[in-house]
Amino acid sequence: MPGPIQSVERAAAILRVIGGAGRPLALAELAAALDLPRPTVHGLVQTLRAEGLVDQDRTTAHYRLGGGLRTLASGWDRHDLRASAMNWADALAGSTGCAVYLAVPEGAVAGIVHHVFRPDGSPQTLRTNTEHPLHATAWGKCLLAFAPVSTPGPRELELRRYTGRTASTVAMLEAHLATARQRGLATDVGEFEPGAGGAAVPLRSGGGLTVAALGIAAPTEELFGGGGQPRPALADQLRAAGREISALLAAR
Amino acid sequence: MRGASTERVVAAIDQGTTSTRCLLFTRTGRMLAVAQREHRQHYPEPGRVEHDAEEIWRNVARVVPEALRRAGLGPENLVALGIANQRETTVIWNRHTGVPLARAVTWQDTRTGPIVADLVADGLAGLYDSTSGFGPATYFAGPRLRWLLDHVPGARAGAEAGDVLFGTMESWLIWRLTGGVHVTDVTNASRTMLMDLRTLEWSPRLLEALDVPERMLPEIRSNAEVYGVCREVLPGVPVAGALGDQQAALVGQTCFAPGEVKCTYGTGAFLLKNTGSRIAGSAQGLIPTVGYLVGKEPVYALEGSIAVTGSLVQWFRDSLGMIGSAAQIETLAMTVPDNGGCYVVPAFSGLYAPHWRPGARGVIVGLTGYITRGHLARAVLEATAWQTRDVVDAMNAESGIPVTRLKVDGGMTADHLLMQYVADVLDVPVERPLGSEAVSLGAAYVAGLAVGHWSELEVLRSNWHRAATWRPDMPAERRERERENWGRAVARSYDWVR
pLDDT score, position A250: 82
CB proximity list for B452: less than 8 A, separation 6 or greater = none
Q: Comparing C-alpha atoms, which of B339, B332, B388 is closest to residue B364?
A: B339
Q: Is the pLDDT of residue B135 over 70?
A: yes
B461 interface with A at CB cutoff 8 Å: no
With beta carbons less than 8 A apart as the criterion, state whether B51 and B173 touch.
no
Residue in B30, B31, B327 closest to A79 by CB: B327
CA A18 – CA B76 distance, rounded (Å): 56
Residue of B nearest to A77 (CA): B328
CA B279 – CA B281 distance, rounded (Å): 7
pLDDT score, position B7: 84
B467 contacts A116? CB cut-off 8 A: yes
Which runs of E-coded beta strand occur in B7-87? 9-15, 19-25, 31-38, 50-51, 78-85
The pLDDT tens digits for A61-86 are: 899 887 676 556 557 899 999 999 99
A90 contacts B467? CB cut-off 8 A: yes
B435 interface with A at CB cutoff 8 Å: yes
Q: How far is CA B121 from CA A100, A107, B131, in A?
A: 58, 67, 18
Angle between helices B373-399 and B416-426 (to 10 degrees): 40
Angle between helices A232-251 and A78-96 (to 10 degrees): 150
With beta carbons less than 8 A apart as the criterion, state whether B65 and B23 touch.
no
B330 contacts A117? CB cut-off 8 A: no
The alpha carbon of residue A3 and the mean position of all alpha carbons in its chain are separated, in whole angstroms, by 33
- Taking 70 as the pLDDT cut, the residues of chain A under it are 1-2, 67, 69-74, 252
Q: Is B211 exposed, middle or buried (0-12, 13-18, 19+ CB in 10 A)?
A: exposed
Using a CB–CB cut-off of 8 Å, the residues of A that contact B are 67, 70, 77-80, 82-83, 86-87, 90-91, 93-95, 114-117, 119-121, 124-126, 128-129
pLDDT score, position B281: 83
CA A192 – CA A138 distance, rounded (Å): 9
pLDDT score, position B5: 65
CA B254 – CA B460 distance, rounded (Å): 7
pLDDT score, position B134: 86
CB proximity list for A252: less than 8 A, separation 6 or greater = A52, A67, A80, A84, A205, A206
Q: How far is B102 from chain A (nearest CA, A)?
A: 31
Q: How far is A90 from chain B (nearest CA, A)?
A: 6
Q: How many CA atoms lie within 13 A of B439 on its CB side?
A: 23
pLDDT score, position A70: 58
CA A230 – CA A215 distance, rounded (Å): 12
pLDDT score, position A72: 60
Q: Comparing C-alpha atoms, which of B380, B345, B350, B351 is closest to residue B365?
A: B345
- CA quadruple B299, B197, B80, B52: dihedral positive or negative? negative
DSSP letter at A148 equals T
Q: Comparing C-alpha atoms, which of B414, B352, B429 is closest to residue B381?
A: B414
Q: Is the pLDDT of residue B4 over 60?
A: no
- B186 or A107: which leads in pLDDT: B186
Q: Is the pLDDT of residue B1 over 80?
A: no
For B364-393, what is the mean pLDDT?
Answer: 96
Name the band, by pLDDT with cuts 50, 70 and 90, for residue B364: very high
CA B308 – CA B387 distance, rounded (Å): 9
**Beta strands at B219-221 and B183-185: parallel, antiparallel or unpaired:** parallel
Spatial strand order of the sheet with B287-293 comes to B287-293, B298-306, B269-276, B261-265, B406-409, B430-433, B466-470
A128 contacts B467? CB cut-off 8 A: no
CA B420 – CA B429 distance, rounded (Å): 9
pLDDT score, position A83: 92
Q: In one letter, which amino acid is B260?
A: E
A116 contacts B326? CB cut-off 8 A: no
Q: Is the pLDDT of residue B107 over 80?
A: yes
DSSP string across B182-206: -EEEHHHHTTTT-EETTTTEE-HHH
Run of H or E residues at A187? strand A186-189
pLDDT score, position A7: 87
Q: In one letter, which amino acid is B225?
A: E
For B166-181, what is the mean pLDDT?
Answer: 96
Angle between helices A138-146 and A170-183 (to 10 degrees): 80
Name the band, by pLDDT with cuts 50, 70 and 90, for residue B3: very low
Residue A237 main-chain phi, psi, to 5 deg: -60, -40
The pLDDT tens digits for B414-425 are: 999 999 999 999
Residue of B nearest to A119 (CA): B465
B331 contacts A67? CB cut-off 8 A: no
Instruction: Count, in order, helices (H) and strands (E) of chain B.
Output: 15, 23
Q: Is the pLDDT of residue B314 over 80?
A: yes
CA B466 – CA B364 distance, rounded (Å): 36
N-term to C-term CA, chain A: 36
Count of Cβ atoms closer than 10 Å to residue B229 Cβ: 17
B470 interface with A at CB cutoff 8 Å: yes
Residue A197 main-chain phi, psi, to 5 deg: -115, 165
Q: In one letter, which amino acid is B30?
A: R
- B205 or A20: which leads in pLDDT: B205
A80 contacts B328? CB cut-off 8 A: yes
Q: Comparing C-alpha atoms, which of A71, A57, A64, A51 is closest to residue A8?
A: A51
Q: In one letter, which amino acid is B129?
A: D
For B277-292, what is the mean pLDDT?
Answer: 88
CA A224 – CA A188 distance, rounded (Å): 10
Which runs of E-coded beta strand occur in A28-182? 54-56, 63-65, 99-106, 109-116, 131-133
CA B55 – CA B106 distance, rounded (Å): 14
Count contacts between A and B (CB, < 8 Å).
69
CA A38 – CA B299 distance, rounded (Å): 68
B30 contacts A94? CB cut-off 8 A: yes
- Name the pTM for this structure: 0.86
Q: How far is A77 from chain B (nearest CA, A)?
A: 7
CB proximity list for A201: less than 8 A, separation 6 or greater = A142, A184, A185, A186, A213, A214, A215, A238, A239, A242
Q: Comparing C-alpha atoms, which of A184, A196, A249, A246 is closest to residue A221?
A: A196
B468 contacts A87? CB cut-off 8 A: no
